[in-house]
């Protein structure tokens, strides 16, 4: 059983990725807690997209916050090495929102990403990873990855996982 795990699965890129892989015959695990509604109000609500996705028998949804390490760990632990692809698209994308909500922005984008990457390493290190990010997060995660990569040999590939592509989304 080949699984694609997608964070931010009800967002624009996450949901399109989910629909794409479902059409290709993959099982898809979606993680999304509709935090966009908090960020952008009623117009940001993505519940309608989630409702479309859950109609597919090969889609399983977890209404989970990526900042919650225990919830994320339980999902990765349940599916382990069956996860062949991880698309990490969950984020707080708005620079306008971020300037007034720095701590929440950092927790979602940086801490949430670290929770995802830590569990990839632990439970499905051979999976391919696609990480989408705004420019404000990529540098933090990239530097952590560089640091971790330099420790690979010393710690017997503790941080081993395959990053296929980083997609950087610039915002004004």
* 148, part of any domain: no
DSSP state letter for 111: I
* 146, part of any domain: no
Residue 154 has pLDDT above 50, yes or no: no
Give the tens place of pLDDT for each residue, 42-75.
887 888 999 999 999 999 999 999 989 999 999 9
* 141, part of any domain: no
* 160, part of any domain: no
Residue 84 has pLDDT above 50, yes or no: yes
* 153, part of any domain: no
* 17, part of any domain: yes
Mean pLDDT, residues 8-29 taken together: 94
Q: What is the CATH number of the domain that holds 41?
A: 3.40.50.720
| Domain count of the fold of the chain | 1
Buried b / exposed e over 57-89, threshold 16 CB at 10 Å, is eebbbbebbbbeeebbeebbeebeeebbbbbbb
pTM, to two decimals: 0.78
Beta bridge partners of 129: 86, 163
Rounded Cα distance, 131 and 72, in Å? 16
Q: Are strands 128-134 and 162-169 parallel, antiparallel or unpaired?
A: parallel
Residue 73: give the domain boundaries: 1-21+28-92+114-136+165-172
What pLDDT is stored for residue 101 in this prediction? Answer: 67
Rounded Cα distance, 45 and 97, in Å? 16
* 147, part of any domain: no
What pLDDT is stored for residue 99 in this prediction? Answer: 65
């Amino acid at each position: 059983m080949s699984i694609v795990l997608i964070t931010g699965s009800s967002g624009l890129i996450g949901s399109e990725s989910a629909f794409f892989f479902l059409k290709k015959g993959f099982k898809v695990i979606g993680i999304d807690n509709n935090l966009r509604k908090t960020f952008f109000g009623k117009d940001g609500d993505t519940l309608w997209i989630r409702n479309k996705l859950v109609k597919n028998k090969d889609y399983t949804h977890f209404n989970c916050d990526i900042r919650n390490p225990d919830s994320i760990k339980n999902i990765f632990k349940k599916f382990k090495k069956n996860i062949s692809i991880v698309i990490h698209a969950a984020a707080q994308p708005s620079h306008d929102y971020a300037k007034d909500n720095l701590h929440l922005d950092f927790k979602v984008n940086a801490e949430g990403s670290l929770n995802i990457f830590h569990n990839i390493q632990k439970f499905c290190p051979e999976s391919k990873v696609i990480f989408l990010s705004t420019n404000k997060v990529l540098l933090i995660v990239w530097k952590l990855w560089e640091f971790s990569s330099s420790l690979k040999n010393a710690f017997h590939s503790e941080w081993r996982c395959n990053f296929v592509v980083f997609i950087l989304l610039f915002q004004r």
